[in-house]
């Protein structure tokens, strides 16, 4: 029975035919639905002596472009339906007879010509097993006793947050937002005796959905979807088996369905009992669950697409029928937030400042501290901090995922490369030759090229990581801000290079030996100590400003 808010038509215009009238368990029977042009359809096999009973057997597709398999009453592939609202006059499928098939099986169909015009439970041919006794009078459902469509009402006004935390359990994102706001995702549960009224709202042109889960991973979840199809909302339940399209249910046990589409918001409400023992895929509402809230696009025919960003997930498990609460959630797991934050600290501040110090501050800070020049101690401290922060951040995604992620593209591969280079740098530095050793020049070039490669790859890796679903910083803001940081670092580097060059030009070159001395950038650069220290201070402040900007954005996820 389509939940279209209209009654079915009385006289069927479409017919069901089969290629065989006898069957044995395991046989494949071709089933054909044909008639005037229609958009949607639903075909199922039932026990001919008990048409109100469960589905019998399973189907195989003959035309995958226009048809799909459904799971009804927990019987996998027990029905065939449309994939889109494209016009069609003829569809085929193959019914596979089960080993425990009844003696007589009848095919039934629902056909939708368009939204308001449809026929329900069209009777098709009866097929029988060999030597089966004659069919007794079936307990069929006649047109006069067809179930009426579940009443669907239009909401006359938007939801409100009154009662959140006092009389009903609410989830809001951003926290404390108004459900009438165009940016607010809202979900509420209000218990009334043995049932719960559920309200869901959010900005979407396609669908909004929530799911009850025993953990923070998709899989083995009880889901509820409000799908916008031609500015009409279909409320559907589904089972999530993993990171695959949901298995939509043909029957859901929901009552008092109502909806509203206005101002870019999809809003729907419905009521369901605390326990639905007749529907095995439905969880009991009086238990603790993580709650997911997602949105995405839907195409013609109500076909939903994968949500483009990470679902909002509550920070803990909640019983929505327990004491009312007003909670929020996060679209990014805490471990991945820490991963991103530590990487930003390491590769936007400590490593960048350490490189500037080693490149330009040798003549500025030549004095010794604990047996080594000050510039070297500062450089070494910042680089070791970078390695430490990177190492900690590196293991966090593996802890969260429990292994390697197949869904993160090139980001983890580049991240592993950066981690390897970051560890190789201090190991190589531990074996550097003395200043005047013949191999020192080779070491300097290898050390510089390894560090530069690591920094370039780190920036590329951060660019890729910012748009992954598990983090998904605001776009295109994140890209422009990262480009701004790169330009800031390159600009400061160029400024200090120009400053060093100008100092050298000021020095009078006496002879060739003197030129060699000047090329070491000692006495000439010492004249610009104050300028360099001012630039370094400004550079550090700028880096911290970029870092705070990114950390604040991560905190808002």
How would you write 175-189 as a 3-class SS string?
A: CCCCCCCCCCEEEEE
Q: Is the pLDDT of residue 372 over 80?
A: yes
State residue 141's pLDDT score.
Answer: 41
Question: 35-39, 110-114, 471-475 — which is least confidently predicted?
Answer: 471-475
* 148: nearest Cα among 29, 42, 8, 45: 8
Instruction: Give the residue-averaged pLDDT of 30-49.
Output: 93
State residue 527's pLDDT score.
Answer: 62
Q: Is the pLDDT of residue 232 over 50?
A: yes
Q: Is the pLDDT of residue 520 over 80?
A: no
This model's pTM is above 0.85: no
State residue 225's pLDDT score.
Answer: 93
CB 28, CB 96: distance < 8 Å: yes
Half-sphere exposure of 407 (CA within 13 A, CB side): 13
State residue 291's pLDDT score.
Answer: 96
Question: 189-203, 237-251, 316-330, 344-358 — which is least confidently predicted?
Answer: 237-251
State residue 544's pLDDT score.
Answer: 94
> What b/e readout covers 81-93, taking b as 16+ CB neighbours within 10 angstroms?
bbbbbeebeebbb
Q: What is the pLDDT of residues 264-293, one digit of tens each?
A: 889 999 999 999 888 877 899 999 999 999
CATH number, span 169-330: 2.60.40
CB 419, CB 391: distance < 8 Å: yes
- How high does pLDDT run on average in the chain? 86
Using DSSP, state whether 529 is helix, strand or coil: helix
State residue 449's pLDDT score.
Answer: 93
Q: What is the pLDDT of residues 419-439, one digit of tens each?
A: 999 999 999 988 888 888 888
Backbone angles phi, psi at 249, to 5 degrees: -95, 145
State residue 459's pLDDT score.
Answer: 94
State residue 151's pLDDT score.
Answer: 54
Pairwise CA distance, residues 511 & 529, whole Å = 26
Pairwise CA distance, residues 479 & 150, whole Å = 48
Question: 316-320, 370-374, 381-385 — which is least confidently predicted?
Answer: 370-374
State residue 152's pLDDT score.
Answer: 57
Asked whether the domain spanning 169-330 has the same topology as the one spanning 15-128, the reply is yes
Q: Is the pLDDT of residue 7 over 60?
A: yes
Confidence of residue 405 (pLDDT cuts 50, 70, 90): confident
State residue 142's pLDDT score.
Answer: 41
Cα angle: 203, vertex 204, 207; to 5 degrees: 130
Provide the percentage of residues in the chain whose pLDDT is more than 90.
Answer: 50
State residue 248's pLDDT score.
Answer: 77
What's the alpha-carbon Rg for the chain, to the nearest Å? Answer: 33
Provide the percentage of residues in the chain whose pLDDT is more than 70.
Answer: 91
Question: Assign residue 73 a region: left if phi > 0, alpha if psi is -120 to 50, beta otherwise?
Answer: left
Q: Is the pLDDT of residue 199 over 90?
A: yes
For the domain made up of 15-128, give the CATH fold.
Answer: Immunoglobulin-like (2.60.40)
Instruction: Give the residue-averaged pLDDT of 497-517.
Output: 62
- 């009453």: which residue's tokens? 73
Q: Is the pLDDT of residue 138 over 50?
A: no
Pairwise CA distance, residues 293 & 223, whole Å = 10
Using DSSP, state whether 242 is helix, strand or coil: coil
Spatial neighbors of 409 by CB under 8 A, at least 6 apart, are 464, 468
* 39: nearest Cα among 76, 75, 78, 91: 91
Instruction: Give the residue-averaged pLDDT of 137-157.
Output: 51
State residue 91's pLDDT score.
Answer: 94
Q: Domain spans of the chain?
A: 15-128, 169-330, 334-556
Instruction: Give the residue-averaged pLDDT of 147-174.
Output: 78
CATH of 334-556, one of 1.20.120, 1.25.10, 2.60.40, 3.30.70: 1.20.120
State residue 519's pLDDT score.
Answer: 46
Pairwise CA distance, residues 421 & 158, whole Å = 55
Bigger pLDDT: 302 vs 229? 229
Instruction: Give the residue-averaged pLDDT of 461-490.
Output: 88
Q: Is the pLDDT of residue 140 over 70?
A: no
């Amino acid at each position: 029975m389509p939940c279209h808010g209209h009654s079915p038509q009385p006289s069927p215009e479409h017919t069901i035919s089969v290629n065989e009238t006898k069957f044995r368990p395991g046989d494949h029977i071709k089933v054909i639905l044909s008639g005037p042009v229609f958009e949607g359809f639903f075909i199922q096999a039932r026990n001919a002596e008990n048409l109100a009973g469960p589905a019998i057997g399973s189907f195989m597709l003959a035309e995958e472009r226009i048809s799909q398999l459904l799971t009804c009453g927990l019987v996998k592939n027990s029905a065939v339906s449309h994939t889109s609202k494209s016009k069609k006059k003829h569809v085929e499928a193959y019914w596979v007879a089960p080993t425990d098939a009844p003696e007589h099986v009848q095919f039934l169909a629902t056909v939708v010509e368009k939204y308001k015009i449809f026929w329900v439970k069209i009777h098709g041919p009866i097929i029988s097993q060999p030597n089966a006794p004659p069919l007794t009078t079936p307990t069929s459902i006649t047109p006069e006793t067809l179930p009426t469509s579940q009443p669907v009402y239009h909401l006359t006004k938007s939801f409100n947050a009154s009662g959140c935390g006092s009389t009903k359990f609410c989830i809001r994102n951003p926290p404390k937002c108004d459900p009438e706001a165009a940016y607010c995702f809202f979900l509420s549960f209000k218990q009334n005796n043995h049932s719960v009224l559920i309200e869901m709202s959010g900005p979407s042109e396609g669908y909004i959905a929530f799911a009850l889960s025993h953990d923070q991973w998709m899989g083995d979840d009880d889901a509820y979807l409000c799908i916008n199809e031609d500015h009409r909302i279909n409320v559907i339940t589904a089972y999530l088996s993993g990171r695959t399209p949901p298995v939509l249910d043909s029957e859901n046990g929901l009552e008092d369905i109502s909806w509203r589409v206005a101002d870019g918001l999809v809003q729907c409400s419905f009521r369901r009992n605390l326990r639905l023992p007749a529907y095995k895929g439905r969880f009991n509402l009086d238990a603790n669950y993580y709650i997911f809230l997602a949105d995405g696009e839907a195409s013609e025919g109500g076909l939903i697409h994968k949500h483009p960003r990470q679902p909002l997930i509550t920070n803990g498990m909640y019983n929505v029928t327990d004491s009312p609460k007003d909670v929020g959630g996060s679209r990014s797991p805490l471990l991945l937030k820490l991963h991103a934050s530590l990487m930003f600290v390491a590769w936007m501040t400590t490593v960048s400042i350490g490189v500037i110090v080693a490149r330009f501050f040798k003549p500025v800070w030549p004095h010794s501290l604990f047996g080594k020049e000050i510039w070297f101690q500062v450089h070494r401290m910042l680089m070791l901090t970078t390695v430490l922060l990177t190492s900690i951040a590196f293991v966090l995604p593996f802890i969260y995922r429990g292994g390697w992620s197949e869904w993160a593209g090139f980001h983890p591969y580049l991240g592993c490369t950066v981690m390897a280079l970051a560890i190789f740098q201090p190991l190589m530095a531990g074996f550097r030759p003395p200043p005047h050793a013949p191999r020192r020049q080779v070491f300097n070039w290898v050390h510089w090229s390894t560090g530069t490669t690591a920094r370039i790859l780190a920036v590329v890796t951060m660019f890729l990581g910012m748009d992954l679903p598990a983090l998904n910083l605001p776009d295109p803001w994140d890209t422009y801000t990262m480009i701004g940081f790169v330009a800031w670092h390159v600009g400061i580097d160029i400024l200090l290079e120009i400053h060093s060059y100008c100092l050298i030009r000021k020095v009078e070159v006496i002879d060739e030996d003197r030129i060699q001395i000047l090329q070491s950038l000692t006495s000439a650069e010492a004249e610009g100590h104050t300028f360099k220290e001012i630039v370094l201070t400004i550079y550090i402040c700028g880096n911290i400003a970029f870092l705070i900007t990114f950390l604040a954005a991560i905190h808002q996820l």
